[in-house]
Amino acid sequence: MKSAPGRGERQLHLLQSQPGSCQAACLAMALAQRVAGAAPREIEARLHGAHERKHPINTVGSNEPGVRYIPADGDDEMVQRFRAELNGGAMLIVHVLGSPWVARLPKGVTGPRGPLAVSGPSGGGIHSVLIASLAEQEFVVLDPWYSNDLQPLLVSDDELRQVVTGFRAVVVEPAAGPPRR
Amino acid sequence: MLSFGNALSGARAAAGLTVEELGRRCGLSGGEVSALEAGQPTTGAVMDRCALAFGLRVDDLQRGEAEHADLAMLFKRSRAITAGPRRGALAMLELDENLGLSRFSRSVWELYDLLGALEQPLPQLPDLSRQWEARPQDQRAGEHLARIARRELGLTPDGPIDSMRRLVEKTLHIPVLYSGEDEVDPRIHGASLVHPMPAVLVAANRLRPWVTRMTLAHELCHLLFHRASPVTDPGGLSVNAGEGWVLDGAHEAREQEANAFAAAFLVPGYALRQLFQGQRHDTPGAVKRVSQRFGVGRKVAVNRVVDTFELSSARRQSLLQTGEEWVADFSDDEVRPSECGLQQGVLRARALEALVAARITRTRARSVLGIPDDQPIEDAGLTDDLAAPVLPPERRLGLRLQRLLEEQGDERIVGEVVRIEAGGYEASLHDLDGVRVGMATLDAEGNLVDTKHA
């Protein structure tokens, strides 16, 4: 995993406002690109905890146009599918395993809450990150837990396969009009 | 980049296919193709099959490459010919028939990317089509073309070509893929394409050295002289089909020209006249001498002797039917079994080279070479780390368990899987907020034993 702070995706980054709002923050980053002038922080606040016992991904997936699920089985087909979606201008939210994710972070990546907690009797927790685009052979990823000083992160397809949980990924399709990139 | 639906629609239009015809090549109905073109989400496997129909990878398709892809152009030509009164050469490319050409084309695209990643030169082949104006029924066309080619390629006008493989692969840097059994329709002998770079296919049934030499020479003719032929689109895939195919006039002429070129390129008439100065040239022994000196089979040797010295057709028949058996020794043009396969040979060599140089990832290398995740890459040149299966057993079990839970309608997310001392494995289960809410137990073979809620 490499750091690429010179890339424009850095401007999309949103620091999650509280523990447990990583998915809401990822969704907010992606959805903010669909509406000109939309405030990511407001979107995150609207999504996180807005529906009691209903997770933001389920809420958004069922309510927002242009948001859907695709399999993310950790195989080569997943890599191809992700590339195809990103090439079409979509963004992806994937679940990653905490400890292998943290273990691969470039040195110096930090955030106001310190390292992501990955402890537990049977391994680390689950975290969500946003795949914003493609760079040559790597995925351009934003992690809402950490500040954007050394982001975005460039993640190879091997690394991605090592860290994804295999749980389905969320696709946020681009707004109508020309592709972003 | 185009959306997948737009890319598919554009590619289909470029190839002149109906949704039903494209669907047959992809294992889909026409309605399903229409839905994909309208933007309906689909799996990576379906996208892959659609791209393969045009001999491309999904990325290439979405870059709009199908509009220039040789296979798409071939479909279009095929349509024009099959629609005519006479079923033509390219009628063999029945739209629902898999001849293996799309896999050849895709391998070339893979190779093109690998050469770019390795910063290695692409083949730079002169376009000699302007130096030659084809004349119908020109009996000397092959001789003329061969002379031009030898001159432009810096070869002697009359010497034997020691190794066609070396000339094509090493000197001209044209990648040659040798198909394995069942990879290409046995009716195809060879093929060549020019986009994204010149490349040649030699079919598995053409792997005796003297046959390989002829096939390479035949395809070289297409690449040198037929790239801007008025009978085809600029560029394009050339298919060297076996005997018995009915060819339309234009393509038949082109194929005959390539055959004549190949024979004259390997056995120049001037060299033959030199060889037999003052000696008999119309005997079985003379034919054997030609075959062994120039590395061609009996039939080519006979034809070259008969044509060069203007012998009768009766003499041709008698020379073809008599004489001892022999094998020309041109071992430099032998193809080893390990080189055969559209994902072997030069493609495998460049992929491993790129992997070692960290220009591509292990996942990419495995995809290019068709090696499953759970098998090591067999190559002595790789470190254990690079050759090892891409995912450790615990990660594979975790991913498999996740699929199983989803099939059962279980919304929990599988966390890390760890081996336990008692044998078997344990996996943490999490809710969508990442909170640990349960545990799954797997036996030593990775089969799910039970799941518990916290």
How far CA B50 is from CA of B22, B34, B69, B343, B367, in Å, comes to 8, 12, 14, 20, 17
Q: Are B194 and B232 in contact (CB under 8 A)?
A: no
Dist CA A25 CA B416 (whole Å): 23
Q: Is the pLDDT of residue B234 over 60?
A: no
Q: Is the pLDDT of residue B92 over 50?
A: no
Q: Is the pLDDT of residue B139 over 60?
A: yes
Helix (H), strand (E) counts: chain B: 19, 8
- Put simply, whether B108 touches A (Cβ < 8 Å) is no
Residue B58 has its nearest CB partner, among A80, A97, A171, at A80
Give pLDDT tens digits for A143-175: 999 999 999 999 998 899 989 999 989 999 887
Of A47-51, B281-285, B332-336, the range with the lowest mean pLDDT is A47-51
Higher pLDDT, B219 or B84: B219
Say if the Cβ atoms of B415 and A126 lie within 8 Å.
yes
Dist CA B45 CA B42 (whole Å): 8
Residue A58: its pLDDT value, please?
Answer: 57
Q: Are A159 and A104 in contact (CB under 8 A)?
A: yes
CA atoms within 13 A on the CB side of B346: 25
Provide, as residue numbers in chain A, all residues whose Cβ is less than 8 Å from the Cβ of B3. Answer: 88-89
pLDDT interval class at B96 (50, 70, 90): very low
- Put simply, whether A2 touches B (Cβ < 8 Å) is no
Mutation target for B interface from A158, A159, A163, A170: give the one with most B CBs within 10 A: A158
Give pLDDT tens digits for B363-388: 889 989 988 888 889 888 888 888 98
Q: Is the pLDDT of residue B444 over 50?
A: yes
Q: Chain B closest CA to A167's CA: distance in Å?
A: 6
Q: What is the mean pLDDT of chain B?
A: 84
Give pLDDT tens digits for B169-228: 999 999 999 998 888 887 788 888 888 899 999 988 778 888 899 999 999 998 998 876
Residue B366 has its nearest CB partner, among A76, A87, A100, at A76
* A130 bridge partner residues: A93, A142
Q: Which residue of A has its CA nearest to B58?
A: A84
Residue B326: its pLDDT value, please?
Answer: 65
Dist CA A130 CA A40 (whole Å): 14
Any idea how long chain A is?
A: 181
Mutation target for A interface from B433, B442, B451, B452: give the one with most A CBs within 10 A: B433
Count Cβ–Cβ pairs < 8 Å, chain A vs chain B: 138
Q: What percent of chain B has pLDDT over 70?
A: 86
Instruction: Write out chain A in H/E/C secondary structure.
Output: CEECCCCHHHHHCCCCCCCCCHHHHHHHHHHHCCCCCCCHHHHHHHHCCCCCCCCHHHHHHHHCCCEEEECCCCCHHHHHHHHHHHHCCCEEEEEEEHHHHHHHCCCCCCCCCCCCCCCCCCCCCEEEEEEEEEECCEEEEECCCCCCCCCCEEECHHHHHHHECCCCEEEECCCCCCCCC
Q: Is the pLDDT of residue B237 over 80?
A: no
Residue B199: its pLDDT value, please?
Answer: 93
- Mean pLDDT score, A55-70: 67
Residue B36: its pLDDT value, please?
Answer: 93
Q: At what angle do helices B30-37 and B19-26 cross, to 10 degrees?
A: 100
Q: Which of these, B71, B108, B335, lies nearest to B203 by C-alpha position?
A: B335
Bridge pairing between strands B199-202 and B413-419: unpaired
Q: Is the pLDDT of residue B3 over 90?
A: no
Say if the Cβ atoms of B4 and A124 lie within 8 Å.
no
- Put simply, whether B452 touches A (Cβ < 8 Å) is no
Q: Are A67 and A172 in contact (CB under 8 A)?
A: yes
Give pLDDT tens digits for B23-65: 988 889 999 999 999 988 787 788 888 998 888 888 889 888 8
Q: Determine how many CB atoms are found less than 10 A away from the CB of residue B96.
A: 9
Q: Is the pLDDT of residue B450 over 70?
A: yes
CB-based contacts of A169: which residues, under 8 Å, 6+ apart? Answer: A69, A70, A71, A72, A82, A92, A93, A94, A95
CB-based contacts of B319: which residues, under 8 Å, 6+ apart? Answer: B282, B284, B287, B302, B305, B306
Q: Is the pLDDT of residue A96 over 70?
A: yes
pLDDT interval class at B137 (50, 70, 90): low
Say if the Cβ atoms of A88 and B4 lie within 8 Å.
yes
Residue A123 has its nearest CB partner, among B1, B401, B416, at B416
Q: Is the pLDDT of residue B236 over 70?
A: no
Nearest-10 Cα torsion for B410, B413, B415, B420: 0
Give pLDDT tens digits for B141-163: 889 999 999 999 999 998 999 99
Residue B290: its pLDDT value, please?
Answer: 92
Higher pLDDT, A59 or B150: B150
Higher pLDDT, B44 or A72: A72
Q: Chain A closest CA to B364's CA: distance in Å?
A: 8
pLDDT interval class at B85 (50, 70, 90): very low
- Mean pLDDT score, A134-150: 92
Mutation target for B interface from A1, A126, A157: give the one with most B CBs within 10 A: A126
Say if the Cβ atoms of B373 and A97 lie within 8 Å.
no
Whether the link from the prior residue into B196 is cis, omega within 30° of 0, is yes
Residue A158 has its nearest CB partner, among B361, B402, B439, at B361
Say if the Cβ atoms of A161 and B363 lie within 8 Å.
yes
Q: Is the pLDDT of residue B247 over 80?
A: no
Q: Chain A closest CA to B413's CA: distance in Å?
A: 6
Q: Which amino acid is at B190?
A: G
Q: What is the mean pLDDT of chain A?
A: 82
Provide, as residue numbers in chain B, all residues whose Cβ is less than 8 Å from the Cβ of A162. Answer: 391, 395
Residue A181: its pLDDT value, please?
Answer: 41
pTM as predicted:
0.79
Q: Which residue of A has its CA nearest to B435?
A: A125
Say if the Cβ atoms of B1 and A167 lie within 8 Å.
no
Q: Is the pLDDT of residue A43 over 90?
A: no
Q: Which of these, B76, B69, B93, lies nearest to B241 by C-alpha position?
A: B93
